[in-house]
Structure 1
Amino acid sequence: MNVTSNQSEKIIEAAKAKANEIGVAMNIVIVDEGANLKSFLRMDGALLGCADIAIKKAKTSRFFDIDSGEIGKLSQPGGSLYNIEHSNGGLISFAGGVVLKNNKQIIIGAIGVSGGSVEQDQEVAIAVANALQLRLNHIKII
C-alpha cells in the first residue's frame, strides 16, 4: 500500500489549512511507503531552512515507523538510540514527523512539518494524520 497522489494532495491542503488556522507558515512534506518524496509545499513566508527539516522529519518517521519526536526521546545521551540522527544521511529527532496509516492500520507514508515551534509542527502533523484516518474510515474530514 502506498499513499496516492490524490491523498497526498488532500493531506497537504489539510496541513496548510491547519497551519493557517494557527497562524504559522510551514513547509509540509509527504513521503510514500518507501520514504520517497510524494508531495511538498513551502507556504509563502515559511522559513527556507525548514524545508530540509520537514523532509527529514517525514523520512525519519517512515524509516523507523514511529513519530520523529519519539526517536528524539530515545536518542538522548544514554538512550538506546543515542546518535541515531547521524545515520541514514541525517535524521531529525524532534517532533513534526508522523507516519500515515490507511484504515487497516498499514503504513502508507509519512508527513513532515516544519516552520513553527516543535509543538506547532507536531500539532499540524498529528491533526492531519488523524484526519486521514477518519477520512479513510468514511468520515469526511479532509
Structure 2
Amino acid sequence: MTNGPDLDTALMLCATALATARDIGAFVSVAVVDGGGNLVAFVRMDGAEIAGPTLAVDKAYTAVAHRVSTDVLGVLAGPGGPLQGLASAAGGRYVCFGGGKPLWMEGRVVGGVGVSGGTVEQDVACVKAAADKWPHTAPAESAP
C-alpha cells in the first residue's frame, strides 16, 4: 500500500462516502486517486449531478497535488490569500472548495478522496467520513 490505496480500500472509501450521502440525503459522485492523482475507483449515485464525475476526480487530485483538504485550500486561494488565483491554474483543474481530502501514510500523501454533488457542507461530510476510514493518521490541517 506504499503507493496509495489499493482497489479494495478505494472501494471501501467510496462505499463509506455513499453511505454518508444516503444518510444526509445527498446524491454524489466519489473518486479515489493514488499519490500521482491517478483514478483508482469512482462511483456515481443515481440522480447525482452531471458535474460530479469531473469535480469529484478533480477534488481528489487537488487534495493530492497540494497536500491539503480542498476546503482549507479554498481559504488559501480566496481573495487576499497567499494562493489567490490558484483555481485558474492547471487549466482550471484545481478545485478550491470543500469535498477533497488527501490520504496520508508515513508522513506523505499517497492518495486522495473527492466527493461532489451535494452542497459543499454535504460533500465535506461525505469526504470526511471516507477519509476517517483510511487506516493511517494524517497531520492536522489549518489555514494560516
TM-score class normalised by the smaller sequence: 0.7 to 0.9
Query: What residue in structure 1 maps to residue 101 of structure 2?
Result: 98
User: Which residues in structure 2 correspond to 1:124-135 (within 5 Å)?
Assistant: 124-133=126-135
TM norm structure 2: 0.87
Superposed CA deviations along residues 24-72 of structure 1, whole A, max 9, x for unmatched, are 1101000101001111111100001122111111111000000011111
Q: Percent identity?
A: 33
Q: State the distance in 1 between where 2:62 and 2:69 align.
A: 8
Query: What residue in structure 2 maps to residue 63 of structure 1?
Result: 65
Structure 1 segments of 4+ aligned residues over 4 angstroms from their partners? none
Q: State the distance in 1 between where 2:101 and 2:55 align.
A: 13
Query: What residue in structure 1 maps to residue 121 of structure 2?
Result: 119
* Structure 2 alignment gaps of length 5 or more: 138-144
Query: What residue in structure 1 maps to residue 27 of structure 2?
Result: 25
Aligned positions, number: 134
TM norm structure 1: 0.88
Q: State the distance in 2 between where 1:83 and 1:106 align.
A: 26
Q: State the distance in 2 between where 1:120 and 1:81 align.
A: 25
What letter is aligned with 2:72?
Answer: E
Q: State the distance in 1 between where 2:79 and 2:14 align.
A: 35
1:14 aligns with 2:16: yes
Query: What residue in structure 1 maps to residue 141 of structure 2?
Result: none
What letter is aligned with 2:59?
Answer: K
1:89 is paired with a residue of what secondary structure? helix
2:90 is paired with a residue of what secondary structure? coil
How many Å apart are 1:101 and its aligned residue?
A: 2.5
How many Å apart are 1:108 and its aligned residue?
A: 2.0
Query: What residue in structure 2 maps to residue 140 of structure 1?
Result: none
Q: State the distance in 2 between where 1:10 and 1:107 align.
A: 19
Q: State the distance in 2 between where 1:106 and 1:81 align.
A: 21
* Structure 1 alignment gaps of length 5 or more: 138-142
Q: State the distance in 2 between where 1:131 and 1:106 align.
A: 17
